[in-house]
Amino acid sequence: MNRNIEIKFKPKNYNEVFYMARILSDSDPEVFKQEDIYYGTKNGRLKLRKLASNDGQLIHYNRPNEKGPKASKFTIFKTKEPSLLHSILSKSNYIVGYVKKERTLMMIGNSRIHFDDVESLGTFCEIETVLNENQTEKEGHLIMNDLIEKLKIDRNDMIEGSYIDLLLNK
């Protein structure tokens, strides 16, 4: 099972965070569109991420709904037939909702910085510090806290839950 430490936030200083991430990033930003379809589960969350008509990922994850850095455990199954997989899943599971976004990705070491423009919600940021099998969650928290400081992220801007929660509670 894969693990990361992550935060999600709606920065008041979006342009400043983007600028600082760009300076610290190891590569040029990548921009792409994503559609996430959330399905009902008995534990955790299950979503099908459609990246293209022939590219998708089924992602199951467990993460507490709390503000600030938190550990997430996840499994990813890649598919070349996301529409067929959705057809199968929607026959056996109820659909919780859809999240459509344009994502700009930057990498800083083993951390993925996402700048998301989420349909019907606005702009948000997310940071995922991916842990390798030898790293502890404590090490991940240290990396995350260092990024929070370097990117000048206001902890009051952090949100709990996921985009689907925000959409359902809108």
Residue 91 has pLDDT above 90, yes or no: yes
Name the band, by pLDDT with cuts 50, 70 and 90, for residue 26.
confident
Name the band, by pLDDT with cuts 50, 70 and 90, for residue 68.
very high
Residue type, 159: I
Instruction: For the beta carbon of residue 4, count every other beta carbon within 10 angstroms.
Output: 23
Q: What are the E-state strand segments in 15-54?
A: 30-39, 45-52
Ordered by where they begin, the domains of the chain are 2-168 (2.40.320.10)
Name the band, by pLDDT with cuts 50, 70 and 90, for residue 1.
confident
Q: Alpha-carbon distance 108 to 129, whole Å? A: 9
Listing DSSP states for 123-148 in one string gives: EEEEEEEEEPTT--HHHHHHHHHHHH
The strand pairing partners of 61, in sequence order, are 45, 74
- Separation in Å, CA 6 to CA 43, 109, 126, 168: 19, 14, 7, 21
pTM over 0.75: yes
pLDDT in tens, 95-151: 999 999 999 999 999 999 999 999 999 999 999 999 999 999 999 999 999 999 999
Mean pLDDT, range 49-60, rounded to an integer? 97
Residue 170 has pLDDT above 90, yes or no: no
- Separation in Å, CA 144 to CA 8, 93, 96, 127, 167: 12, 35, 30, 8, 26
